[in-house]
Amino acid sequence: MKNWRETESDRLDDLFDGVFSWLLEQFDPLTGGFYYARSSVLDDRFTPDIESTSQAINILRRHLLLHNMPQTMKEKMIAFYQMRQDPATGYFYDHDPKMKKDEVMVHRALYYSWNSLKRLGASPFYPLPVENQVAPDYTQSLSSYREKWDSIDLRNSWRGCDLLASSTVYFAQMDEVTQRKYVDAFTEYLAEKQNPETGLWGEGSLYVQISGTFKLHTFYRRYQISMPNQDRIYQTILKCLRTEEAVDMCYIRNPIDLLSYIEPNFLETELREISEITINNMKRLKQEDGAFSRELTTSPKAPNVAQVKQGESYPNMPEAVELGLGLKEGDMNATTQATLIRKQLHHLWQIKPKPIPTNFWEGEAEGKICEQKEV
């Protein structure tokens, strides 16, 4: 007889039926990149983008499919990133000119591209921004970095903490001694700003605050620093899961990723409750095309501005960078999060996930990788 962990694992895996056939259809053999959604593939106004391509790599990596990627596809994906690097600055840009105007997108593309190239066994063509001496002025000193952080509005924790966390992308390009000083300074800054009662940062609904805290946890995890007030974070997550509606896949993923990081001493009943709520919420976002959508009603056209929901506001939001048509369909952003939720839940359950049957690199996939679209 199965225990509850095995039962929930099976229920979770059932949600991944169709994911890999959907993922295959998102690949563009001409550019070596992946599209955001099915509507993006079918509309000539859209092209594969850096975030979607990097998220596809994460899906493949989490399901142990990256290591046996055909060399033809790997070379095309490497070229996809290298061709998007600006030789003058070292940044990586998508074709949409509005992307350059979104600070978070620029920082994410820099990190995604550098990391994805490394995972593909390659390197950028050109030096990165710090080496090029074109990084923002605020990176030049601790005092100017502090001014940058102080300027960030946290009325919407998710957006504000995303700006805070993404500003640290330049730390990785510093020498070890300088990096340590900046990491320590940011750690001290965050400790000052944390709410000791909830363990969270910023304002907004509990899900918005948890999502902001999740953004900051990426910094703590990257530099192997313990996030303060973890017991308060856990209790706030429990309250949120029990009382608020998860209308976005990020609201489902972010608590689970935080719990995987802090690893609280779960009561068995609490872990089961968390697992059941999470999988029930994921099921609501499963779409007919086989993938998952970011939001309940639609896949947002522009994920770069989807942090600020209807009825909420945040100053100086960038222009929307549309990646799809906003239909009720799966998208790469949500689907890569679903694969991470699966990984982290199994980590919390302390059981090894079963391989999801797929012949991704065989037959139809081989033809898809090698075909050329008409231009």
Tokens of 122: 């390659």
206 against 372, higher pLDDT:
206
Structure confidence at residue 97 (pLDDT): 97
> Given pLDDT bands bounded at 50, 70 and 90, which one contains residue 79?
very high
Angle between helices 332-349 and 268-284 (to 10 degrees): 160
Query: Is the pLDDT confidence value at 374 over 90?
Result: no
> Given pLDDT bands bounded at 50, 70 and 90, which one contains residue 133?
very high
Three-class SS of residue 216?
Answer: helix
CA 166 – CA 55 distance, rounded (Å) = 17
Is the CB of residue 334 less than 8 Å from the CB of residue 36?
A: no
Q: Which has the closest alpha carbon to 179: 153, 202, 210, 145?
A: 145
Could you count the other beta carbons within 10 Å of the beta carbon of residue 44? 5
Burial of 222 (0-12, 13-18, 19+ CB in 10 A): middle
Query: Is the pLDDT confidence value at 366 over 90?
Result: no
Structure confidence at residue 219 (pLDDT): 97
Mean pLDDT over 92-118 rounds to 97
Quick: pLDDT tens for 17-38: 999 999 999 999 999 999 999 9
Query: Is the pLDDT confidence value at 2 over 80?
Result: yes
Query: Is the pLDDT confidence value at 302 over 80?
Result: yes
Radius of gyration of the chain (CA): 20
Is the CB of residue 291 less than 8 Å from the CB of residue 15?
A: no
> Given pLDDT bands bounded at 50, 70 and 90, which one contains residue 375?
very low
Structure confidence at residue 371 (pLDDT): 54
Q: How many degrees, rounded to 5, is the angle at CA 334 between CA 267 and CA 67? A: 90
Quick: pLDDT tens for 213-261: 999 999 999 999 999 999 999 999 999 999 999 999 999 999 999 999 9
Quick: pLDDT tens for 349-360: 999 999 887 777
DSSP string, 300-365: -S-GGGTTS-TT---TTPPPP---S---SS-BHHHHHHHHHHHHHHHHHHT-PPPPPP--TTSTHH
pTM above 0.85, yes or no: yes
